[in-house]
Amino acid sequence: MNKLQMRRYAKLLAKVGLNVKKGQWVIVQAGLDQPEFVEMVTEELYRAGAGKVTVEFSHQPLMKYHYKYADTGMLSQTAKWELEKWAHKVKELPAMLYLESEDPDGLSGIDQEKFTAVRSARTKAIKSYRDEMENKYQWCIAAVPGKAWAKKVFPELMVNAAVEKLWDAILVASRADGADPVRDWARHNDEIGVRCDYLNRLGLCSLEYKSQNGTDFKVGLIPGSRFMGGGEETMSGRYFNPNIPTEEIFISPKAGEAEGVVRSVKPLSYQGELIEDFTVRFEGGKVVEVQAAKNQSLLEKMISMDEGAKMLGECALIAYDSPINNAGILFYNTLFDENASCHLALGRGFTNCVDGYETMTKEQLREAGINDSLIHVDFMIGAADLEITGVTARGERIPIFRNGNWAF
């Protein structure tokens, strides 16, 4: 891989993804297979002004051993030192960079009942700390090609060639393949901002989705909520980009107001396994039925994680004619595949989609309609013929998407 372009990508994550404050603590989470890029991004974080960079490595095969040999009770425990670490994060508010590179099938074959029970217990133990940090710190999710992931995407190639090709695809999708990715991202954020401004002026109270593949769905929106996309700000006003790449404009819908059926158009990678060709049916705002050609039981476990897992936390709008979709690559990774076309997310909503959220309590935000859950899982529904119509309180119907693309 071109080392200069890798360096530009690392600089993009430090300066645009996180927009590190001078002297700030930064935590980088990455796989063991990424030492070279982690070195690069660590140096760029320091150059951007970081006071301290902590790297936390993980290794997917080790996780598989844990779930094979350790008992559920042991794995479910959250040690005192772990909670103290979370308390320290709440106090210091480090910037968080997550580098994804894992095998989409890397946890295939594990006991999913055990995995779900452990994940639920550990997520509940740290939820209060995560809630306290919400909207107060910068974070960014990006990707680096792992060997197994690259072979999954390009099975016809030898490993090294597959990694090179996935590197190219990641950089193109992330708008990091040019001479000045930082400048290119400023332009991209400006373009997304123009669309958000238009949508927010419409005063929509619901969205209706229709596609010949079976999607026929309506979802309510929260009064006073707003569409967002690209970069966003912490409560203290620090601008950052949480996802690189991103093509989406999103909003958190009103929990409990969803009716109809949606069909997936891409596989969903969840807990190290793929759920494929599935439909989700809503009644009274909640999922009442799911069907999947592959891993239906895993999908059923996902929506049973808690009561909020059955309701929506996000509606995201992405043109079918998007750079990622036009690349013709199925990434088997939600960060990329969700930015190929429109998607929904089951589970936790985004509180900062409500105007004035800074002065509202968590309880007030839940009462307004922001969903709460232990999960937030995106799945793709953006077919080539998808139509989305916005409806105002006066009953005015406004085309938002036609033939899978923006209608304005």
8-state DSSP, 266? S
Which of 12, 165, 154, 30 has its CA nearest to residue 99?
A: 30
DSSP characters for 205-227?
EEEEEE-TTS-EEEEEE-TTB--
Handedness of CA 376, 248, 17, 138 (dihedral sign): negative
Q: What confidence score (pLDDT) does residue 154 get?
A: 98
**Residue 192's beta-bridge partner residues?**
none
Per-residue model confidence as pLDDT tens digits over 126-145: 999 999 999 999 999 999 99
Instruction: Give phi and psi for 262, each to the nearest 5.
Output: -125, 145
Average pLDDT over residues 109-130: 93
pLDDT per residue as tens digits for the range 303-336 = 999 999 999 999 999 999 999 999 999 999 999 9
All structural domains of the chain: 3-173 (3.40.1830.10), 201-229+243-406 (no CATH)
pLDDT digits (tens, 9 = 90+) for 221-271: 999 999 999 999 999 999 999 999 999 999 999 999 999 999 999 999 898
Q: pLDDT for 152-192, tens place per residue?
A: 999 999 999 999 999 999 999 999 999 999 999 999 999 99
